[in-house]
A and B are shown apart, each in its own frame.
Chain A
Amino acid sequence: MLEIKNLHVKLEEEDKAILKGVDLSVGAGEVHAIMGPNGSGKSTMSYVLSGRDGYEVTAGSAALLGKDILAMEPEERAAAGLFLAFQYPVEIPGVGNMTFLRTALNAQRKARGEEEMSAAEFLKLIRAKAKDLQIDADMLKRPVNMGFSGGEKKRNEILQMAILEPKMCILDETDSGLDVDAMKLVASGVNALRDAGRSFLVITHYQRLLDHIVPDVVHIMHDGRIIKTGGADLALEVERNGYADILGEVA
C-alpha cells in the first residue's frame, strides 16, 4: 500500500534536516502505529506525505499503490487514496461543512473519472455516516470546524474519512485533546473503516489510543529515523518504561 524508502526531508526555509532516512512499508489492510518523543519527525512525515508546502525532500521516495506521490499536488494524492486526519483541523469561516464535503467527494470522483454524486444521494450518505459518529445536523450545516469543540473536530475528521473512503489513512495525533469517551467514539469510527483494502498509519504519543485501535505493527521514531519496529507489545513497553530505555538500547 505505502512504501517509504530512505526518505530524507529538510525544512525549505532553513537548513534543518527533519527526516533522516525513513523506511516504512505498510501492507494492504494493516494498521501501523508510529510512536516517538516530541520532535522526532512524526508530524513532519504526515505533512510531507500529504503534500504540505514548506518541506523539501532531499532523498528517498514514497509510493502509494506503486505510484510516486511526492511529485503529486495535494489534491492528486487525495484522489489517489491518501487521507490525513489533521492534528489541528482547520476552521474555515464561510464554507459550509456539507458543501465542503460534497465538493471534495465530487472533485475526487471527477479526478478518478467516476460519476459525480447527486445532492440527494450525498445527503443520504452523509446522514447515515454522521449518525454513527454522533454528529448532528447542526454540525453539518455550520462552517467547517467553526465553533466545534476539540472532540467534534476530530469526529469531523473521521466523518470525512468515512465519506471519502481513502485507501491509506494517516491519523496525526488524533487522540490529542480527547477525553476517554470521545477517544472511544473516534476509535470505533476508525475500526468501522478497517478492511482488507484500507491501511492506517496512526501517529501518537501515547499507548492509550492503541488500546482501542489495535495496531499490527508499532514503530518507534527518533531523530528522523525509525529506530525500532515490533508488534502491539512494543507500545505497551513504551507505556511502562518511557522512551529512554529504547533509545538507550539502540544507542
Chain B
Amino acid sequence: MALAQGRHDATEARLATLRAPSGAGWAQVARGDALARLRATGLPERRDEYWKYTRPDRLTSADAPRAAIFDTDETPLYDDIDRLRIVFVDGVFDADASDDLSLAGIEIERLGTATSADIHWVRDLYGVLETRGQTPVARPLAALNTAMATDGIVIRATGRAAKPVSLVYLHKSEVSDAILHHCIKIESGADLTVLENGPAAARFNKVMEVDVADGGAFHHVRAQGRDHERQAVTHIFARLGTESTFKSFTMTVNGVLTRNEAIVELTGDNAVAHVAGAIVGDTDFHHDDTVFITHDAVNCESRQVFKKVLRNGATGVFQGKILVKADAQKTDGYQISQALLLDDDAQFYAKPELEIYADDVICSHGSTTGAIDEDAMFYLRSRGVPKGEAQDLLVLAFLAEAIEEIEDKAIADDILARLDAWLIRHRRA
C-alpha cells in the first residue's frame, strides 16, 4: 500500500538530510533492507496509535531542533568505577578521549570498521534483531537508524569481561543530530556490563542490538544526560537464549523529549529479562518508556519496573506489553509502572498490555498515579526532618524498587547520589 503523501514527503525530507555510510557488501544490503522497511511504513506521525501519547514530530523532522549545551559542575558519573571508557562527541567516536579498545574477555570494534569487514557475528546481528522487532509493531525510527547510522561500537563477549564497558556521550554542538548503532553479542556463558551516560547530542537516535547466547549475562545501566533541551529516541533490541540473563536500568533526569523503547524476546527456556527505569522530570519534560517483551520459551521470567517523578508541566508515558506465546508455559511476567506527581500540573499516561496464549502462566501488572503521602510527610516532619528533606526521602523511597534492579552496589550508589543531587537542586520552598 502506498504511503499517504504527507507521510511520504516527511520521510523523504528526513532522508534527504542523511547519507548512508559506505561499507562491505553485506552491510550495504542490510542498510538497503532497512531503508526499504522505513519507506514501507514511513516515519511515525502523531495520529499513529503507538505514538498516541508522545508527539514524534521533533524526532522525525528533517533537521534537529537546537539544544543548548548544559554546563555542569558535577563529578562525572561512574567516576570511581573501574571501566573501559569509549567516548562519542556528538555521535562521533573520539579515539583520543577513549581508552584502548582492548579488554580481556571481549572484542571491540568501531562500527565503521566492523561493517567494512566481514565479521560473521556482526553480519548475523546488524539490523537482524531490529528487523525481528518490527513485528507486530513497526518501529520506523529504528529502521532509519540501521539504514543511516554513522557510528557505533560492536562488542563480542567471549568470557567474563574484566570490567564494564562505559559508553560516554558528550554533547558539544548545539545542532548535532547523532545516529549511533551498537551491536553486542554475548557468547555462551559470557558476562558483560555496559554503562552509558551523557546527553549525546541535540538530537540522538540510538539502537542497541543485544544477542545473549545460552547461559550468557548482560547488564546495562544507562543515565540519560541532563541537558534540558536535548531529545532522544532509543531502541534496545534483545534476544535471549536458554538460561541467559538480560538486565537493563535507565535513569533519566531532564531532557525535553525522550522515547526509550525496549524490545526483548525470550527465545530459550529459563531466561530472565528485567527492564527498569527511574525518571525525574521538572517543567518542560516528556518521557516515554515503551516496552515489548515476548515470551517464546518455557519457564522464563520478565520484570518491568518503571517509576516516574513528575512536576510542573512534566509528562510521563508508559506503554508496556507482555506477549506470552502458546508454547511459553510457566512464564512469570511482572510489570509495574508508577508515577508520583509532585503537583497538580504533571501528567502520566500508562498503557499496560498483556496478551497471553499459554494457559500455565503467572502474569501481573499494575499502574498507579499518586501524590506524596501527606501522613508520611507529617510523620517525618514531626520528628524534625525539614519539609524539603522529608519529601526527598519519600521520593527516593518511591524510586527504590527501580534502583534495586541495578545489581552492582557501587553503580547503584552512584545513580542514587545523582538522583539525590537532582532532588536537592529542584527543591521548592
Contacts and interface: CB of A to CB of B under 8 A. Distances in A.
Interface of A: 50-53, 73-75, 77-79, 83-84, 86, 89-90, 92-95, 99-101, 103-105, 107-108, 111, 143-144, 160, 164
Interface stretch (B37-45, B108-116, B121-129, B370-378): B370-378
A74 B382 contact: yes
8 contacts: A73-B381, A74-B381, A75-B386, A84-B382, A89-B379, A90-B376, A92-B394, A100-B383
Contacts of B374: 53
A149 B389 CA distance: 28
Interface string B232-261: 000000000000000000000000000000
B378 A52 contact: yes
Interface residues of B, number: 23
Contacts, number: 79
B387 A73 contact: yes
A99 B392 CA distance: 13
Contacts of B389: 103, 107
Interface string B380-423: 11111111011001101110110000000000000000000000
A209 B387 CA distance: 34
Given A94-B394, A107-B386, A164-B384, 11 more contacts: A75-B382, A78-B381, A78-B383, A86-B382, A89-B379, A90-B373, A90-B375, A90-B378, A92-B397, A95-B394, A108-B384
A94 B397 contact: yes
Contacts of A94: 394, 396-398, 400-401
Contacts of A144: 379
A22 B374 CA distance: 27
Contacts of B386: 73, 75, 107, 111
Contact of B382 (A78, A93, A101, A143): A78
Contacts of A50: 382
A107 B384 contact: yes
A100 B393 contact: yes
Given A94-B398, A94-B400, A95-B397, A79 B378 contact: no
A160 B380 CA distance: 11
Contacts of A78: 381-384
A172 B387 CA distance: 23
Given A53-B374, A75-B386, A104 B396 contact: no
Nearest to B392: A103
B384 A79 contact: yes
Nearest to A77: B382
Contacts of B390: 75
A74 B394 contact: no
A92 B376 contact: yes
A111 B384 contact: yes
A109 to B, nearest CB: 9
Contacts of A103: 385, 389, 393
B203 to A, nearest CB: 35
Contacts of A53: 374, 378
The 7 closest A-B pairs by CB, nearest first: A94-B397, A78-B384, A108-B384, A104-B383, A74-B381, A90-B379, A94-B400
A74 B387 CA distance: 9
Contact of A75 (B381, B393, B396, B401): B381
A100 B378 contact: no
B380 A100 contact: yes
Contacts of A107: 384-386, 389
Interface of B: 373-376, 378-387, 389-390, 393-394, 396-398, 400-401
A75 B401 CA distance: 28
Nearest to B386: A75
B383 A164 contact: yes
B217 to A, nearest CB: 28
Nearest to A85: B382
Contacts of B400: 94
Contacts of A95: 393-394, 397
Contacts of A79: 384
A201 B380 CA distance: 21
A96 to B, nearest CB: 9
A72 to B, nearest CB: 11
A150 to B, nearest CB: 17
- Among B387, B393, B400, B401, the one with the most A-chain Cβ atoms within 10 Å of its Cβ is B393
A83 B382 CA distance: 7
A94 B416 CA distance: 13
* Most chain B beta carbons < 10 A, residue from A50, A74, A108, A144: A74
A243 B400 CA distance: 49
A105 B380 CA distance: 11
A14 B376 CA distance: 24
A50 B400 CA distance: 30
A79 B373 CA distance: 23
B384 A104 contact: yes
A51 B397 contact: no
Nearest to A101: B383
Contacts of A84: 382
A87 B169 CA distance: 53
Contacts of A108: 384
A74 B378 contact: yes
A75 B394 contact: no
Nearest to A105: B384
Contacts of A164: 383-384
A196 to B, nearest CB: 23
A139 to B, nearest CB: 17
A103 B388 CA distance: 12
B370 to A, nearest CB: 13
B379 to A, nearest CB: 4
A144 B389 CA distance: 16
Contacts of A83: 382
Contact of A92 (B379, B382, B387, B401): B379
A79 B382 CA distance: 9
